[in-house]
Amino acid sequence: MSSSFRPSYACCTTPRIIGPPYEPKGQFVEVDGFKIYCSGLETATKALFIIYDVFGYSYQILQGADFLASQGYKVFMPDFFGENPAPMTWMPMPDASGKEPPVNDKALDDFCEGPGNTEQTVEKVLRLRQRLQADDSRIQQWGLLGYCWGGYVANFLLDLKSPFGACVELHPGFPAKEVAEKVARPILALCSKDEPKETYAHFKPHVRTEFKVVHFSNMVHGWLSARGDLYRPEVQKEYQRGYEMVAEFLTQRLA
């Protein structure tokens, strides 16, 4: 069974939009050699571990993290790729005629098997969460949130031994059914118009716990992260609605 993630075509061909300037409310700290974005009250008893997408930090992701922190969570988002996230040029936009340019499959495969390797990322997440927990005994519950590649990886962290009580996946990819059969934590997946039911048809039927999928049929892949054009009122509205749904789901499942 392969556990290497391959970004969808929509993931890599939707233009990256930085969006309106945003001043993060949290801070970047170093833990075990990783830069981590931290936001939220020091006294929070619930924590949220966020795995970003293959393109790294964006204003939209940081703003979303701060919103969730304002809902009572201490948020931790490690910078797994540092200065070398996946460049968009590996899957460039179609030209004016709609013709799709060549995709650098080898570069993508190498990235997903190297810096984005699923097994290694799972180990990093578990190790960092354990360290963060040891550093703050006030934290009693953990939630998990992943974007695209991060949502794919999150599925490998939800078995019976998982330290995470609930998981949210935003415009995610889905692994094989063998992974679904081991999922033992509730999942909320927010999908765009670029993630039709076929995207998870092989996965959802084999999940033996709660697996809720909500489609935002007028949004593009990545509207909750770097591809969300927050200058557009309709995107801003659905961006906010998405994060409110995330907060509500986590509040109910981590009660």
Give tens-digit pLDDT for 63-108.
999 999 999 999 999 999 998 887 767 655 435 554 545 767 787 7
Q: What is the pLDDT of residues 221-235, one digit of tens each?
A: 889 998 888 989 999
In a domain, residue 29? The reply is: yes
Which residue's structure tokens are 């995207």?
A: 199
Report whether 90 contacts 97 (CB < 8 A): no
pLDDT classification of 3: cutoffs 50, 70, 90:
low
Residues 6+ apart with CB under 8 A from 135: 31
Residue 3 located in a structural domain:
no
Which amino acid, residue 13? Answer: T
Q: What is the DSSP string of 103-136?
A: P-HHHHHHHHHTTT-HHHHHHHHHHHHHHHHHH-
Per residue in 28-77, pLDDT (tens digit) is 999 999 999 999 999 999 999 999 988 889 899 999 999 999 999 999 99
Residue 222's contacts (CB-CB under 8 Å, 6 or more residues apart) are 10, 11, 14, 53, 147, 148, 171, 192, 228
Residue 28 lies in a domain: yes
Find tokens 């936001």 and name the residue: 39
Are residues 58 and 18 in contact, defined by beta-carbon separation less than 8 angstroms? yes
Q: Would 17 be classed as within a structural domain?
A: yes
What domain count does the chain have? Answer: 1
Print the domain residue range for 171.
9-253
Q: Is residue 228 part of a domain?
A: yes
Distances in whole angstroms, Cα of residue 59 to Cα of each of 146, 188, 193, 226, 245: 16, 23, 22, 7, 20
CATH at residue 161:
3.40.50.1820
Tell whether 18 is covered by a domain: yes
Residue 1 domain-assigned (yes or no): no
Give a yes or no: residue 86 inside a domain.
yes
* pLDDT confidence of residue 15: 43
